[in-house]
Structure 1
């Protein structure tokens, strides 16, 4: 793999890193240094200084947000709708299947999916629907596993692109292609992959997608989104609506509701603006760099660590099967190593599979060398 270029070091200066070796990007990405200024100019200043209501200055923020998403995912801006979080977006999608409300749907997902997504499916699907799980001991990076479980009985499949607790990356190209061939609805969850793995929605063609900005996109909480394939949109009749779901929000005729002809029919009532000021700015920043470049940098840093810990490196070795997170498992020495990492201002966390480590564009080889040195000098 290519040697690290000094140009990557320049990205550190753009982020607030508080003198820490921050490797928790699978959880919350770090803010850009100019975020506060952007927030003041785009949100607080219109609110505090204008003698008129600030909506004419606030609402363009949403256009900026959806425009940046369209560039990020190679999709149409009209196919995106802001959401407060993934659970809200998934609930709205599931409740929009008007033709399926009385159908006993069979839905496939994995036991290693984020539990919150399973909770939504259990409560928001039509009554008497059934969820089938790919067992946690199956390898979700292997297409033949999906092929085995994606039978003709399945009505809908929920697919996580990346799994933060295992570092795995699912083969979404092939899984989505198989789902289309069987007329199975697909919902793609990109929360753990967006911003670190290139995603081309025009090529992938899921029916729906949900994602957020809080992790690799460094956009903070509250700036999630859903995406609806244009071919699927005419059949979506959201039930959780509000005046901004209306074709003309300012018509104000209580007797006449008409859905917007875009994914914004999923929007709802008076919108939140503040989170999208931050997220639109940070997504623009990463769009300028390019996700492919960020991915190459991330994988190079992971390779540097994987070469030092053969047995302990439990996330996938193959880059095509690995997300942006590596997992190291030190068994009985885990707590001691975690304590030493914390003492040395190295920010990581731990789950059932081991210690989670996620380097971003603002991390460099020196950060990885620091991590390796602290671990290796810890007496087991």
Structure 2
């Protein structure tokens, strides 16, 4: 981060870590005193486990191939939309996968309640007001989506 020397002392960080404190060994979260200058904007120790996880995740994506993932997700999205309609669900948003992501939203009046019931069945979806949003990725299968959509349909049509 770059900050003007004249401005550093005038600004108060919204987020800071133990390196951004005047005394880095004090660890007093209740009586925090910011370090002088731009140092006050420093954070603590980087989350090394997150860095390693992100590195391996990126390697996996590159190994599988971004174009392969994109192609597979398009097929999953087409299946999700088609099978959802076949099961009597109403899609909110574009029907075509040409101008949308792999994410599909279905209108469900009691979406938060349905989300909870599906979660109990190990089906993870997101309720957004009156829709249930499904966002499959390359590690999901057509069979998993068929199961999830069937369960969603059963709950929506009862």
TM-score of the aligned structures, taking structure 1 as reference length: 0.28
- Structure whose residues are more often helix by fraction: 2
Q: Which residue of 2 aligns with 1:352?
A: 129
Q: Higher relative CO (CA 8 A, sep ≥ 6), structure 1 or 2?
A: 1
User: Does structure 2 conserve the Cα–Cα contact (< 8 Å) formed by 1:313 and 1:328?
Assistant: yes
C-alpha distance 241-349 of structure 1, shift in aligned 2 (>3 A)? same
SS for the counterpart of 1:307 is helix
Q: Which residue of 2 aligns with 1:286?
A: 61
SS for the counterpart of 1:321 is coil
Structure 1 gaps, min length 5: 1-91, 99-123, 125-239, 243-267
How far apart in 1 are the matches of 2:96 and 2:70?
14
TM-score of the aligned structures, taking structure 2 as reference length: 0.62
> Per-residue CA shift, 1:190-215, capped at 9, x if unaligned?
xxxxxxxxxxxxxxxxxxxxxxxxxx
CA RMSD of aligned residues (A): 3.1
Confirm or deny that 1:304 pairs with 2:44: no
Confirm or deny that 1:365 pairs with 2:139: no
SS for the counterpart of 1:346 is coil
> Per-residue CA shift, 1:135-156, capped at 9, x if unaligned?
xxxxxxxxxxxxxxxxxxxxxx
Query: How far apart are residue 323 of structure 1 and its match?
Result: 2.3
- Structure whose residues are more often strand by fraction: 1
> Per-residue CA shift, 1:226-256, capped at 9, x if unaligned?
xxxxxxxxxxxxxx955xxxxxxxxxxxxxx
C-alpha distance 281-241 of structure 1, shift in aligned 2 (>3 A)? farther
C-alpha distance 273-334 of structure 1, shift in aligned 2 (>3 A)? closer
Correspondence for 1:343 among 103, 117, 120? 120
How far apart in 1 are the matches of 2:138 and 2:67?
11
Structure 2 gaps, min length 5: 5-13, 15-36
C-alpha distance 328-280 of structure 1, shift in aligned 2 (>3 A)? same
